[in-house]
Structure 1
Amino acid sequence: MQTTSSDYYGNVNPTLLGVVDPLAQRVAEFGCGAGALARAVRQRCNARVHYVGVELMADELAKAHEVLDVALVRNLDQTPNWSVDAELMAALPHGSFDHVIFGDVLEHLYHPDRVFQQAVACLRPGGSALVCIPNVQHWSVMAQLLRGHWPQQDAGLFDRTHIRWFALTDMVQLLQRAGLVVEQVVPRVFKPENGQALLQALQPAAHLLGVDPQQFMQRSLPLQYVLVGRRPAV
Structure 2
Amino acid sequence: MKYNVDLDISVGTSHSLILNKIKRNSKVLEFGSASGYMTKYMKEELGCEIVCIEIDAEAAEKARKYADLMIVADIENDPWFQKISEFTFDFILFADVLEHLRNPEVILKQATSLLNNDGIVLTSVPNISHNAIIMELMQGRFDYRSTGLLDDTHVHFFTRKSLLELLDDCGLEPSEWLTTMRRPETTEFQQKYSDFPILVQHYLENRLDGDVYQFVTMSRKKKSDENPLDFTYRQHINYLDLDHCQLYWGEDSSFNELSSIQVPVVFNNDFKTYSFDIPLGVKGNLRLDPANTPVYGAIRGVKLFEITSSGTRREVNPDNTKITSQLKPLNNIYKLADERDFRFFATNNDPSIYIEGISLNGNLKYILEVEMQINNSIEEIITKLSHEMKDNELEIVNLSKENQTYSEETNVLLAREKELLDKNMAWNETYSDLNNQFAELKETYKLLDENHKTIIKQNEEKSLEYISNLRDKEILIEELRKEISLMKYSFSWRSTAFFRKMANKIRGK
TM-score relative to the length of structure 1: 0.81
Alignment deviations for residues 34-89 of structure 1 (CA, whole Å, 9 cap, x no partner) = 11111112233x22x2100001111100000111000001111114xxxxx4x643
Whole-angstrom CA distance in 1 between matches of 2:149 and 2:157: 9
| Aligned CA distance change for structure 1 residues 69 and 61 (closer, same or farther; 3 Å) | same
Instruction: Supply the distance in 1 between the matched residues of 2:198 and 2:217 (Cα, whole angstroms).
Output: 27
Instruction: Note the 1:93-132 alignment, pairs <5 A.
Output: 93=86, 96-132=88-124
Alignment partner, residue 37 of structure 2:
36
1:143, CA displacement in angstroms?
A: 1.1
- Distance apart, 1:24 and its partner CA: 5.1
Contact 1:29 1:53 in 2 (8 A): yes
Alignment of 1:46-85 (within 5 A): 46-47=46-47, 49-79=48-78, 85=79
Supply the distance in 1 between the matched residues of 2:197 and 2:76 (Cα, whole angstroms).
36
Structure 2 counterpart SS, 1:66: helix
Q: Is the 8 A contact 1:10 1:35 kept in 2?
A: no
Q: Which residue in the other structure is 1:221 paired with?
A: 211
Which residue of 2 is the match for residue 209 of structure 1?
A: none
Q: Which of the numbers 178, 181, 184 marks the counterpart of 2:176?
A: 184
Residues 172 and 221 of structure 2 are in contact (CA less than 8 Å); yes or no, is this contact kept in structure 1?
yes
Question: Structure 1 residue 154: deviation in Å?
Answer: 0.8
Say which one has the larger Rg: 2
Alpha-carbon distance between aligned partners in 2 of 1:226 and 1:9, rounded to the nearest angstrom: 20
Deviation string for 1:192-232 (max 9, x for gaps)? Answer: 776665697447768xxxxxx95x2x411111011011124
* RMSD between aligned residues: 2.5
Partner amino acid, structure 2, of 1:104 = D
Task: Give ranges in structure 1 of 5+ residues lacking alignment.
Answer: 80-84, 207-212
Provide structure 2 residue ranges, at least 5 long, that are not aligned to the other structure: 8-14, 187-191, 225-509
Letter in 2 for 1:93: E
TM-score between both structures, scaled by the size of structure 2:
0.39
How far apart, in 2, do the equivalents of 1:205 and 1:100 lie? Answer: 38
- CA drift at 1:9: 3.1
Question: How far did 1:90 drift?
Answer: 3.5
Aligned partners of 1:71 and 1:192: how far apart in 2? 38
Tell me the equivalent position of 1:167: 159
Maintained 8 Å contact 2:32/2:55: yes
- Cα distance in structure 1, aligned partners of 2:6 and 2:32: 12
Could you say which residue in structure 2 is the equivalent of 1:27?
Answer: 28
Q: How many residues align?
A: 211
CA contact (8 A) 1:139 1:199 kept: no
C-alpha displacement of 1:93: 2.6
Give the CA deviation at 1:189.
0.6
Deviation, structure 1 residue 172: 1.2
Q: Secondary structure at the match of 2:4?
A: coil
Question: Secondary structure in 2 aligned to 1:32?
Answer: coil
Give, in angstroms, the shift of residue 233 of structure 1. Answer: 6.4
Between 1 and 2, higher relative CO (CA 8 Å, sep ≥ 6) is seen in 1
Distance in structure 2 (CA, Å) of the matches to 1:199 and 1:78: 48
- Say if 1:39 and 1:199 are closer, same or farther in 2 by CA, change over 3 A: farther
Inter-CA distance 196–50: structure 2 relative to 1 (3 Å threshold): same
| C-alpha deviation, 1:33, in angstroms | 0.7
What are the superposed Cα offsets for residues 73-131 of structure 1, whole Å, 9 maximum, x if unpaired? 1111114xxxxx4x64343435x100110011111111111111111111011101000
What is the one-letter code of the residue matched to 2:31?
A: F
Could you give the per-residue CA deviations for residues 129-176 of structure 1, whole angstroms, max 9, x where no partner exists?
A: 000000001111011101111122111001111101000111111111
2:220 maps to 1:230: yes
| Identical-residue share of aligned pairs (%) | 24
- The AA in structure 1 aligned to 2:212 is P
Structure 2 counterpart of 1:140: 132
Distance 1:172 1:11, change over 3 A: farther
Contact 1:125 1:233 in 2 (8 A): no
